Amino acid sequence: MTRKLVYLTVALALVVGMLAACAPKATPTPEPTKPPAQAEPTKTQEELDPISQLDPSGQEVLFWHVSTRKHEKALMEIIDGFNNSNPYGIKVVPEYAGYYGDIYKKILAGIAAGETPDLAIGYANQVAEYAKAGVIVPLDPFMNSKKYGFTEEEKKDFMWNLLEGDRRPEFGGQYLSFAHSRSMQVMYYNVDWLKEMGYDGPPKTWAEFKEMCMKATDPEKGTHGYAYSGSASLFATLVFTFGGDIVTKDNQKVAFNSEAGLKALQLLKDLFDSGCAYEVAERYGDQKDFANRRALFTFGSTAGLPYYRSAIEESEAGPFNWDVDAPPHETPKPVVNVYGPSAAIFKSVPERELAGWLFLKYWAEPENVAKWAMTANYFPIRKSAIELPEMQEYMKKNPQYKKAFTLLPYGRMEPSVAGYQQIRGIIADMMKQVIEGADPQQALEAAAQQAQEVLDQNK
Amino acid sequence: MTTWTLSLGQQRIRLRITPMRVVLYLVLIAGAFVAMFPFIWMILTSFKSYGEVTAGRFFPRELRWQNYVEAWNAAPFGRYFLNSLFIAMATIAGDLFSGILAAYAFARMEFPGRNVIFFLFLATLMIPGELTVLPNFLTIRRLGWYNTYQAQIIPFTASVFHIFLLRQFFMGIPREYWDAALLDGCSHFRYLWSIVVPLSRPAVVTVALLSFIGSWNAFLWPLIVTSSENMRPIQVGLRSFVVEEATQTQLMMAAATMVIVPIIIFYLFTQKYFTEGLTMTGLKG
């Protein structure tokens, strides 16, 4: 008996020791290192900027991406174009690293092992987390480099409001990533159905939206005004349309616990209480119900346009006229939530970092952003890309895309602060609680408090 | 009460139909349908168009065989398939080898600290798999195994759960067998491979099957430890149908059907042992 007890005690001690030894190793977060130095005043260095003195000849750039099938094909064409045409003999080597969630995990493992790619695709908030581990190179010195950067004319051609999420207040306002295209969340609506109800256009205010939703709702026919699919992006859209924001401009404080945030939640609650909105059970179920004429409105990404189109063309309800527009808004001007992935350069040697930048710059040429945008049904981030004949042709064939394009100037970006992925979860839970009957004010305050804790932890 | 006689070649089967049996079979048929429904849905969906999937049609209007062609061409499935097969087979071999030896030692051999070590083994079951990804990755990196087959095989060639399963089964084999074998001058090693393993076929096959399923379905680990297409397994290929704002469900299902066929074939051959392995607790002495 005593022997057994001794064994048991030894075993327990060993287990505890083992777990304790495992614990620090097992944490997947990389060791916190200091963020890169504050932005250097690059303007004053125009004469002698260090980047312009580098020679990127012969560098090989390892590029982790998330593209498959037609996206991958387009990306390979751009990469081949660069590899064959750049005068420095730089070679970009692409590697598929899974979808957004997968590549994120792969990079976190790589950071821990001390081996990261030279270039990778990611959402700006993921890049913010990599940057906290000290592995990301700010892009401003490259952009402003006399020899390798953008010319003043090129700079004027970019729609910088679409790149706002790549600029990091907590890293001295520098760009940590760069995007070549963006999509946005728009309102999809059934034109024919609205006409049948006696309306000649989409709703401009939320009151009109609700009125139309109520008219379209018919329990007997099983139709509703709004097929709701909740997400933090939708909440951001709603808050923007009431004139609010998700976090403060400096990314330090939660800002959605404002009047705008409350109005957004009250609107949701109201739509659900009055029975004209319902939550879809499956992913992209709103697309399905819209195509089958069971819902008058949905909100979704413009990247989904071709899928809406094919779903509508083949639906049982038969094809009908449909369009997209900015969400209803209480702000003087419309506002749309713009999002999309970016590309970031990882620290290596200055020459290879520059080689990575030169590829990003090549990718940003009008022909390439246009090609990339048309493949992903995204929008190019530079104005001149729109004037290209192939882009004009594409817009002619895709009227909803053209319509959405006119909304780009109203684009605003969701926050891209480190920890935002977690905050998105908190916001989604809050929305769920409210449509299930919770008090908007209480839910909002509780969520804001949790979100603030996440922001503080990620400082 | 009716009695039917069916003639199947030389064999004659007499079926007695009683109300009880009718009810039993109806319940079984309903159960089988429920269990098979996902597979039926998968196969039907693999023939639909994207629009038919979103429209929620149960039956496709026409059989779109081109989905299979498109799915097959979407990724180098031939290569992925062979990779998965090789990795799975090697994993099973390693897992069985280490599992059988360890289980036998824990079940039949006397050595100091046996129970303590076994307890420690079991304790590792408490560590979630996610937590081991990073240490394993660092180990693989340091060994220089990044982007190799062994990175996808070696970490899975020992499973505590499988050792536990086999040990319990081995313990059910009457001790008298060992005493008799010992009298005939049999060594532990000989006894293990000539008596214990053949008697434990259901358990061994169960472990092999579990190991196979785990290996065949692995996604994140292979993705993390590989960089080139010619090292990657089939699940990575399936991922290519997830595109932004829509999943190409019909193509994914076509590929899934192709991927699942080998598992079903494997299962058909081993079904008997599999069910035995799960229902038998040990030999009756």
Identify the CATH number of the domain in which residue A128 sits: 3.40.190.10
Considering only CB atoms, A310 lies closest to which of B50, B220, B228, namely B50
Are A345 and A438 contained in the same domain?
no
Are A234 and A292 contained in the same domain?
yes
Confidence at residue B285, expressed as pLDDT on a 0 to 100 scale: 36
Confidence at residue B96, expressed as pLDDT on a 0 to 100 scale: 97
Q: Which amino acid is at B84?
A: S
Confidence at residue A101, expressed as pLDDT on a 0 to 100 scale: 87
Residue A22 inside a domain? The answer is no
Confidence at residue A24, expressed as pLDDT on a 0 to 100 scale: 39
The number of folded domains in chain A is 2
Residue A2 inside a domain? The answer is no
Candidates A310, A312, A375, partner chain B, best to mutate (most B CBs within 10 A): A310
Chain B CB contacts of A292 below 8 Å: 55-56
Are A169 and A297 contained in the same domain?
no
Residue-range definition of the domain harbouring residue A295: 185-338+415-457
The answer to whether B246 faces chain A, any CB pair under 8 Å, is yes
Confidence at residue A283, expressed as pLDDT on a 0 to 100 scale: 80
DSSP class of A223: B
User: Alpha carbon A108 to chain centroid distance?
Assistant: 19
Are A334 and A235 contained in the same domain?
yes
Are A362 and A452 contained in the same domain?
no
Are A293 and A346 contained in the same domain?
no
| Mean pLDDT value across residues A74-92 | 97
Residue A34 inside a domain? The answer is no
Segments in chain B below pLDDT 70 = 1-15, 243-246, 274, 276-285
Q: Which amino acid is at B115?
A: N
B55/A69 touch (CB, cutoff 8 Å), yes or no:
no
Residue A3 inside a domain? The answer is no
Q: What count of CB pairs under 8 Å joins A to B?
A: 124
Chain B CB contacts of A1 below 8 Å: none
The answer to whether A284 faces chain B, any CB pair under 8 Å, is yes
| Mean pLDDT value across residues A194-210 | 96
Are A103 and A219 contained in the same domain?
no
Residue A5 has pLDDT above 90, yes or no: no
Q: Work out the minimum CA distance from A104 to partner chain B, whole angstroms.
A: 10
Confidence at residue A314, expressed as pLDDT on a 0 to 100 scale: 81
Task: With residue A300 as reference, give the H or E element that holds it.
Answer: strand A295-301
Confidence at residue A1, expressed as pLDDT on a 0 to 100 scale: 43
Q: How many residues can be counted in chain A?
A: 459
Confidence at residue A458, expressed as pLDDT on a 0 to 100 scale: 86
Indicate the SS3 state at residue B195.
helix
CB atoms within 10 A of CB A320: 13
Q: Compute the distance between CA of residue A434 and CA of residue A266 in angstroms, rounded to an integer.
A: 8
Predicted TM-score (pTM) of this structure: 0.82
Which region, left, alpha or beta, applies to residue A228 given φ > 0 means left and ψ of -120 to 50 means alpha? Answer: beta
Confidence at residue B261, expressed as pLDDT on a 0 to 100 scale: 84
Q: Which residue has the higher pLDDT, A387 or B246?
A: A387
Residue A4 inside a domain? The answer is no
Residue A35 inside a domain? The answer is no
Residue A251 inside a domain? The answer is yes
| Mean pLDDT value across residues A168-178 | 90
State what percent of residues in chain A have pLDDT above 70: 90
B228/A95 touch (CB, cutoff 8 Å), yes or no:
yes
Give me the helix-helix angle, A366-376 and A389-397, nearest 10°.
20
pLDDT band at A58 (very low <50, low <70, confident <90, very high): very high
Confidence at residue B32, expressed as pLDDT on a 0 to 100 scale: 94
- The phi and psi torsions of A284 (rounded to 5 degrees) equal 60, 20
All structural domains of chain B: 18-64 (no CATH), 74-279 (1.10.3720.10)
The answer to whether B227 faces chain A, any CB pair under 8 Å, is yes
Give contacts of A 157-186 with B, CB under 8 A. Answer: 183
Are A346 and A320 contained in the same domain?
no
Dump pLDDT digits (tens) for A360-383: 999 999 999 999 999 888 999 999
Residue A8 has pLDDT above 80, yes or no: no
Are A145 and A293 contained in the same domain?
no
Q: Which amino acid is at B262?
A: P
